[in-house]
């Protein structure tokens, strides 16, 4: 989107899953899929030229921006890692490889019984993400059939029978909240249309009656919002300054990341706001932690995103997407005079 300082309504500039667009005079450089692209741009007419590929194999961090930086003459980006594998670590510290990979896991969540793990991975044929379901006991993985063109991170209902996710029916379109039978066979059901500014994430409150999601509001601030399944469908704000949503098992507390710190808020009153971390942090699900030998989780590279691990609901198993040996990039690629490719 492009906005105007004179108060005119914003206009859509590009369709699709374009990330962190950088305007540079008469050019726009942006990330889409696993590519860095550039387009000619006229700031007056808002006309765009055809996209030109500057780099490929450029990953995004979780659901965030592409890992690149650009100036008028220089492009710098991180090369895409080779992938990761799905492992499980028990409370005794014993590690088991469930899926050797290579996978491209960006997020994962465990089902209520700990027998299945929902994985969010890049779409195979278009920009955006899609959901896969891994069977922990059988060691198999398969795509999760849904109706959405783009998906956010999947979460599970309390009974483990349904998978919930936020998605877009069309790339770049409005966000819809979905649920689908975890066993497959039945199509995804649209629960509600999320309001403008909603992000691709949704969590079901343990009561089963409220869906919680992050939303960009006034002043570009992200807060936690809710929609009731029954009764008044009007979205309501639950917590301010929180860009992720995790719910305690009893439903009384919400954990989120606000101003770069982990913050816990009481629910539903929202009267208490307790800062948990003091040196920066990202909110995880408030569950019992496992005391594990560091090498069991960290072997082959560090886990640099909260979304790359999950704890089973009983607290006895720890799932992680671990980078394959040698998979992490060891440096950056620097391209000088990138504008010559646009001639």
Q: What is the pLDDT of residue 75?
A: 92
Structure tokens at 332: 């950056």
The candidate with the shortest Cα–Cα distance to 322, out of 335, 310, 308, is 308
pLDDT of residue 303: 38
pLDDT in the model for residue 304:
40
Distance between start and end Cα atoms, the chain: 26
State the Cα–Cα distance between residues 180 and 191, nearest whole angstrom: 10
pTM over 0.75: no
Predicted local confidence at residue 325, as pLDDT: 63
Q: Which residues of the chain have pLDDT under 70?
A: 15-19, 33, 60-65, 81, 124-128, 145, 147, 171-172, 185, 218-220, 242-244, 258-260, 277-307, 325-330, 343
- The pLDDT tens digits for 23-72 are 888 899 988 867 888 998 888 888 888 889 898 878 766 445 678 889 98
User: CA-CA-CA-CA torsion for 141, 135, 81, 289, nearest 10 degrees?
Assistant: 170
**Dist CA 131 CA 121 (whole Å):** 6
pLDDT of residue 280: 52
Our measurement of the distance from residue 214's CA atom to the centroid of its chain's CA atoms, rounded to an integer in Å, reads: 11
> 223 with 244: CB under 8 angstroms?
no
DSSP 196: T
Residue 74: per-residue pLDDT: 92
d(CA 260, CA 132): 30
Using DSSP, state whether 27 is helix, strand or coil.
strand
CA 301 – CA 277 distance, rounded (Å): 24
**Contact call for residues 41 and 23 (beta carbons, < 8 A):** yes
The strand pairing partners of 221, in sequence order, are: none
> Phi/psi of residue 341, each to 5°?
-75, -15
What is the Cα 49 distance to its own chain's centre? 30
Look up tokens 């007419």; give the residue: 45
């Amino acid at each position: 989107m492009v906005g105007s300082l004179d108060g005119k309504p914003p206009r859509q500039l590009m369709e699709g899953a374009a990330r962190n667009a950088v305007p540079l005079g008469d050019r726009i450089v942006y990330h889409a899929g696993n590519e860095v692209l550039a387009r000619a741009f006229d700031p007056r007419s808002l006309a765009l030229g055809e996209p030109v590929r500057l780099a490929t194999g450029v990953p995004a961090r979780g659901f965030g921006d592409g890992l690149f930086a650009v100036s008028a003459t220089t492009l710098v980006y991180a090369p895409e890692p080779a992938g990761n594998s799905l492992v499980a670590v028990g409370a005794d510290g014993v590690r088991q490889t469930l899926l050797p990979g290579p996978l491209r896991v960006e997020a994962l969540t465990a089902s209520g019984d700990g027998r299945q793990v929902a994985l969010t991975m890049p779409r195979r044929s278009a920009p955006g993400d899609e959901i896969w379901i891994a069977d922990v006991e059988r060691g198999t993985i398969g795509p999760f059939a849904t109706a959405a063109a783009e998906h956010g991170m999947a979460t599970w209902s309390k009974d483990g029978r349904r998978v919930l996710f936020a998605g877009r029916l069309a790339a770049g379109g409005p966000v819809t909240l979905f649920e689908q039978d975890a066993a497959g066979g039945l199509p995804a059901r649209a629960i509600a249309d999320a309001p403008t500014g909603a992000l691709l994430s949704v969590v079901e409150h343990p009561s089963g009656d409220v869906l919680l999601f992050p939303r960009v509001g006034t002043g570009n601030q992200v807060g936690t919002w809710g929609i009731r399944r029954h009764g008044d469908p009007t979205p309501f704000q639950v917590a301010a300054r929180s860009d992720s949503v995790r719910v305690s098992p009893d439903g009384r507390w919400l954990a989120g990341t606000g101003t770069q710190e982990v913050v816990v808020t009481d629910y539903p009153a929202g009267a208490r706001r307790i800062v948990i971390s003091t040196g920066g942090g990202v909110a995880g699900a408030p569950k019992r932690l496992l005391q594990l030998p560091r090498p069991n989780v960290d072997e082959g590279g560090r886990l640099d995103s909260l979304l790359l691990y999950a704890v089973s609901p009983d607290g006895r198993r720890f799932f992680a997407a671990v980078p394959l040996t040698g998979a992490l990039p060891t440096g950056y690629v620097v391209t000088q005079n990138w504008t010559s490719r646009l001639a």
